Amino acid sequence: MKWRATHLNGKKKSNVNIKSSYLSNFNLRIKTIKHFFGFALVATLFTSCYTEVIVEENYVEPVPVITLAELVASYELWYVDIERTQGNGYIPFLQKAFTVSFRNGKLFANNNLVGFGSQGNGFGIEVGYYETYSDVLEVDHDIDGFYSFKVTQLNDFEIELYFPGQNVSYILEGYQRNTFDYDRIFYRNIHYFLQEYDTWEKTYTSEYGNLNEFDNENYVAFLPGGGDGNFKSSQDQNGIHPYDVYYDYTGIYNVDDVSGTETLKYLTLDYDYFGNEYFELSVINDQKIELFHSDSGTLYEFSGRGYIQYRSANEGKLRKTKTEIAKTMKKISQF
């Protein structure tokens, strides 16, 4: 058998027809191949255009939720910032306290500056009991009785106690005992610190400085403001009992802030029938102060005598704002 000659039904088939059939089959294969590559190309394009999209939800860090009982106990000392008190009334035990503490249902208060940090292991004296629920703080004070406060957390270290019965609110600043700024509290409440002793006795006079009249004065007593006569001084000899001191002079005193620092004050003594004496006042500790006499350049130290300690819940002085103190004192300083 030959490739070019075959017999069909006894007849010879022409070579032209064979070629035509071959070309037809060849063209069919080409079309099939084209279709295959076409489908492959489309599939490739779809595959290459596919991108996996992952939608991530924003994750919000959960805020820890604590109870009111845990909140008030989270700081060992809560400083009562009298300057930020709002309202016309006042709560006696908060008005007297420099700090309050909430310890396992018991309420403590520091009503004295002298001994602050040591009395009651730093918490002060026990003055009552407290309970909490929801946002309400209930206090049963030993002397002042029952109070129910609405508590608002202002930030991480401040809370507001609001008493609707008198429409008054107090701002409390939270501190730990080992990080509390004990120096600052004395300067912020310098009037009350000066008045926590019956008198202050001169215990040191510098060798430098010019002679002046104040060299002869050995005792100075500071009294609550309220018109004339809120300081008195004496030339008695050192070592006399505070109750036995005879005071030679009386007058008015002012304490003023020093711009740019919280650890220095200006003290002005305005003597009746005499002139004024001007000092820079520094607190050395809770028993000693330093007075620098500006005119003479002399430095004095005075030590407190006759500590007035508030041992019970009914003792203590009602604190006032600087504005309220200024209203009760005659302005005589040059600062």
State the DSSP string of 88-144: S---HHHHH-SEEEEETTEEEEE--STTTTTGGGGT-EEEEEEEEETTEEEEEETTT
Query: What is the C-alpha to C-alpha distance for residues 111 and 317, in angstroms, rounded to an integer?
Result: 8
Task: Flag whether pLDDT at 266 surpasses 50.
Answer: yes
SS3 content of the chain, % helix, strand, coil (to 5): 25, 35, 40
Residues 122-134, mean pLDDT to the nearest whole number: 95
d(CA 27, CA 17): 15
Most confident range, picked from 109-113, 188-192, 200-204, 226-230: 200-204
Task: Please give the pLDDT value at position 104.
Answer: 96
pLDDT more than 90, % of the chain:
63
pLDDT digits (tens, 9 = 90+) for 156-183: 999 999 999 999 999 999 999 999 998 8
Asked if the model's pLDDT at residue 56 lies above 80, the reply is no
Instruction: Using alpha carbons only, give the angle 303, 307, 313 rounded to the nearest 5 degrees.
Output: 150
| Count of alpha carbons within 13 angstroms of residue 169, beta-carbon side | 13
Nearest one of 185, 182, 181 to 82, comparing CA atoms: 185
Residue 330, classed as helix, strand or coil, is coil
Q: Are 161 and 100 in contact (CB under 8 A)?
A: no
Q: Grade residue 275 by pLDDT with cuts at 50, 70 and 90.
A: confident
d(Cα 52, Cα 231) in Å, to the nearest integer?
84
Average pLDDT of span 258-280? 91
* Alpha-carbon separation of residue 328 from 155, 206, 224, 230, 259 (angstroms): 34, 34, 9, 10, 23
- Say if 68-180 and 187-328 have the same CATH topology: yes
Give residue limits of the domains in the chain. Answer: 68-180, 187-328
> What backbone torsions phi and psi does residue 166 show, to the nearest 5 degrees?
-125, 5
Q: So what's the pLDDT on residue 45?
A: 46
Q: Give the DSSP letter of residue 214.
A: G
pLDDT value at residue 174: 97
The per-residue pLDDT for 96 is 93
H or E element that contains 306 = strand 298-307
CATH class in words for 187-328: mainly beta
Average confidence score pLDDT of the chain: 83
- Whether domain 68-180 has CATH 2.40.128.280: yes
Looking at per-residue pLDDT, the higher value among 326 and 18 belongs to 326
Q: Is the pLDDT of residue 41 over 70?
A: no
